[in-house]
């Protein structure tokens, strides 16, 4: 299949600030998402759910309240747990739910060889049944908005019960969860639109470049110098069409 070098080098619109922000939240989202995914997802992929980050998070949750800036009065173990009962209630629940998620995600050849190993898991049934008005919510709305809001409400409940540390942690996790899915869907959208626009660019390039059509039916326009000689334009046009594998190498470079 032929691809058009003009589109891969010139035609794509870039938004570096937006991309940098979304990529940042995607890069830091793994652990914050895991903190809440064990509660709101089921049957995650064998490679998506991993016990190593679970162990790191469990150790963090167990010892964080004892850090000097939080335990300024060197309280006893029992006093620290009593003061942070919400934190340790969440920690215990996290460990228990992680155990069940691990049982679900363990690799079983008879089951998982036909299952996507990087699956983010299934949404809870009641979440999938949430509706806005008369229509059911699509999966994008549920992941970007509904799931983080549910976590946010739990965080508010902890704050009302004077358990600020765990409440604030869950609020941060909910925000990162939301923004990470915005970034993931944005990347998916861009990927599909790039494929569509690349196809349209390849189809309309001949009219726009060789035959001097200012704007094609699809809206594609050629920006750049066009030689006066039609023969030369045809020769140049042929050099712009290359194999798809070559385009992939150029894009990576």
Tens-digit pLDDT profile for residues 47-74: 899 999 999 999 999 999 887 655 555 5
Question: What are the residue ranges of helices labelled H in the chain?
Answer: 5-6, 16-28, 30-40, 51-63, 77-83, 85-105, 109-112, 125-128, 139-141, 147-160, 164-205, 230-240, 244-252
Confirm whether 229 is domain-assigned: no
Spacing of C-alpha 168 from chain mean position: 22
User: Using CA atoms, how far apart are residues 101 and 209, in angstroms rounded to an integer?
Assistant: 56
Confirm whether 39 is domain-assigned: no
177 Cβ contact partners less than 8 Å away, ≥ 6 residues apart: 29, 32, 33, 36, 147, 148, 151
Sign of CA dihedral 109, 111, 114, 116: negative
Confirm whether 69 is domain-assigned: yes
Spacing of C-alpha 45 from chain mean position: 16
Q: Supply the pLDDT for residue 8.
A: 76
Confirm whether 2 is domain-assigned: no
Confirm whether 95 is domain-assigned: yes
Q: Tell me which residue range forms the domain holding 104.
A: 44-120
Tokens of 116: 């996507």
Confirm whether 59 is domain-assigned: yes
Domains identified in the chain, total number: 1
**Residue that wins the pLDDT comparison between 31 and 74:** 31
Q: Supply the pLDDT for residue 19.
A: 86
- Residue 4 burial (CB count, 10 A): 23
Residue 169's pLDDT band (cuts 50, 70, 90): very high
**Predicted confidence (pLDDT) per residue in 102-152, tens digit:** 999 886 665 656 788 899 999 999 999 888 776 667 899 999 999 999 999
Confirm whether 106 is domain-assigned: yes
DSSP-assigned letter for residue 47: T
Burial 171-204 (b: 16+ CB within 10 A, else e): bebbebbbbbbbbbebeeeeeeeeeebbebbbeb
Confirm whether 93 is domain-assigned: yes
Q: Using an 8 Å Cβ cutoff, are 253 and 13 in contact?
A: no
């Amino acid at each position: 299949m032929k691809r058009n070098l003009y589109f891969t080098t010139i035609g794509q619109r870039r938004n570096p600030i937006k991309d940098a922000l979304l990529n940042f939240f995607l890069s830091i989202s793994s652990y914050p998402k895991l903190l809440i995914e064990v509660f709101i997802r089921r049957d995650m992929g064998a490679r998506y759910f991993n016990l190593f980050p679970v162990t790191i998070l469990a150790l963090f949750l167990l010892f964080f309240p004892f850090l000097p800036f939080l335990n300024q009065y060197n309280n006893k173990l029992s006093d620290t747990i009593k003061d942070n009962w919400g934190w340790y209630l969440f920690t215990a629940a996290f460990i228990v739910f992680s155990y069940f998620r691990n049982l679900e995600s363990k690799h079983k050849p008879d089951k998982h060889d036909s299952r996507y190993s990087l699956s983010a898991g299934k949404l809870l049934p009641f979440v999938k049944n949430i509706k806005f008005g008369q229509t059911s919510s699509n999966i994008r709305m549920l992941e970007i908005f509904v799931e983080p809001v549910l976590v946010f409400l739990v965080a508010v409940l902890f704050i009302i019960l004077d358990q600020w540390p765990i409440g604030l942690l869950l609020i941060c996790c909910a925000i990162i969860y939301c923004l990470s899915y915005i970034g993931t869907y944005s990347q998916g959208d861009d990927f599909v639109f790039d494929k569509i626009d690349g196809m349209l660019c390849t189809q309309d390039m001949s009219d726009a470049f060789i035959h001097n059509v200012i704007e094609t039916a699809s809206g594609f326009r050629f920006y750049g110098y066009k030689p006066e000689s039609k023969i030369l334009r045809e020769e140049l046009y042929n050099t712009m069409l290359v194999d798809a594998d070559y385009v992939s190498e150029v894009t990576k470079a």
